[in-house]
Copies of this chain bind each other. A is one copy, B any other.
Amino acid sequence: MQQSPVPPDPPIYRRIADRLREAILSGDLRDGDRLPGENALMAEYGIARATARQALSVLINEGLAVPKRGSGVYVRLFRPIRRHGSRRLSRRQWERGQAIWDSDTEGRPYTVDDVNIDREVAEEAVARILDSAEVWVRRRRYSVDGRPVQLSVSHFPAALVEGTAITREDTGPGGVYARLGDLGHAPAHFTEEVRARMPHPHETVQLDLPAGTPVIAIGRVAYTAAGVAVEVNEMILDAASYVLQYDFDS
């Protein structure tokens, strides 16, 4: 057989999904508006319930819509926070009014819940970087406007921070970086590795993520001026809540 030159027309559920997506992206349906539900689609197109659900699930898994059980399916909103990698550099002229994507200029108040501090045996990658088999681990969750947006797990070499405020809930003024400075190990250089992926179940729960929302995973390593690694911080961000900004010369 020769290659069929006829593009097979897409299945019903996909055509419906395409239509609805178009309505969302074009702005016909705005943030928070309600989409036609299962019953409405069944009636409008004369299709079975499963087919209507399949159409809606496409948009839900694309992160464009959010289902509310017992209520309806709604257009999802995107209003991110801007997170700066290098504060020093980004505070230059090229920052003001020059952003590509709209975002709330920071300054939104964080709250921290679920602090958890522990001494543990480090997993392989962390032990290698910190050159320390045992580590103190600080786990926290950050919320903005009462909604959780970020998980953070910090690791410190046990021998270095033993007995300091870093092993206690209240780290004092300036936080952990100030305490590392007190120890003569002030961070001077950072490396951040950034990935994006779909969340694991426990991340979905802790960040209260709707379907179709990826997470941004950041692995940050802090080094002293001498090049000694003093912290490994693994962060998980709700991708719908963040725009990361990095500035650099070259």
Q: What is the total number of copies of this protein in its complex?
A: 2
| Residue pair B85, A248 in contact (C-beta under 8 Å) | yes
Nearest B residue to A220 via CB reads B100
Chain B residue contacts of A100, Cβ below 8 A: 125-126, 129, 193, 219, 221, 232, 234
Contact-residue size bin, chain A (C-beta under 8 Å from the other chain): 35 or more
Chain B residue contacts of A216, Cβ below 8 A: 194, 196
| Residue pair B192, A246 in contact (C-beta under 8 Å) | yes
A47 at the interface (CB under 8 A from B): no
A94 at the interface (CB under 8 A from B): yes
| Residue pair A250, B194 in contact (C-beta under 8 Å) | no
| Residue pair B249, A189 in contact (C-beta under 8 Å) | yes
Which parts of A218-243 form the interface with B (CB within 8 Å)? 219, 221, 223, 227, 229, 232, 234, 239-240, 242-243
Known contacts A62-B198, A89-B248, A195-B242; 4 additional CB pairs below 8 A are A61-B198, A98-B129, A195-B239, A248-B248
